[in-house]
Amino acid sequence: MSEQKDIIDPSMGIDNQKNLPNSTAVLVLGILSIVGCIFYGIPGIICGIIAIVLHGKDKKLYTTDPASYKKSFGNSKAGFICGIVGLSLSILWFLYFIVILIFFGAAITAAIGEVGAM
């Protein structure tokens, strides 16, 4: 009887799941990329790119053994999606900021040119 107690039954709630090494980091960086678009887009672009690259590494590891990493792959996938959204928003915000700088630069140059002509 003591030999039967040593056998581990999978239905007893013992879980074989392992965490992907970067799943939490991908999720955090993905969220930070969305928040980072507020600061002229630069932090959002950086965090978004890092999140996407780390998700690629996690995805390669996940494909080797999907059953073991199924639980934490959801976090990595959510971070990847947040990273794409944050990267897109950050790029749009950065381009908007550049256009505004060019517009105001042209307006200031024209104003200086008019003052100099008088």
Taking only the tens place, the pLDDT of each residue in 48-58 is: 999 999 999 99
pTM equals 0.79
Q: Residue 114 has what pLDDT?
A: 78
pLDDT digits (tens, 9 = 90+) for 10-26: 554 446 788 999 999 99
Q: Angle 74-86-18 (CA atoms, 0-180°, nearest 5)?
A: 20
Q: Residue 67 has what pLDDT?
A: 87
Residue owning tokens 């959002």: 44
Q: What count of other Cβ atoms lies within 10 Å of the Cβ of residue 31?
A: 18
Q: Residue 4 has what pLDDT?
A: 54
Q: Residue 40 has what pLDDT?
A: 86
Q: Residue 115 has what pLDDT?
A: 75
In whole angstroms, give the CA distance from residue 50 to residue 62. 18
Both tokens assigned to 37: 């678009």
User: Taking each helix axis from N to C terminus, what angle separates 66-117 and 23-36, rounded to the nearest 10 degrees?
Assistant: 20
Beta-carbon contacts of residue 26 (< 8 Å; ≥ 6 apart): 51, 54, 55, 58, 75, 76, 79, 80, 83
pLDDT digits (tens, 9 = 90+) for 64-103: 989 888 889 999 999 999 999 999 999 999 999 999 999 9
Task: Quickly state the pLDDT bin for 117 (edges 50, 70, 90).
Answer: low
Q: Where are the alpha helices (DSSP H) in 1-118?
A: 2-5, 23-36, 42-64, 66-117
Q: What count of other Cβ atoms lies within 10 Å of the Cβ of residue 60?
A: 9
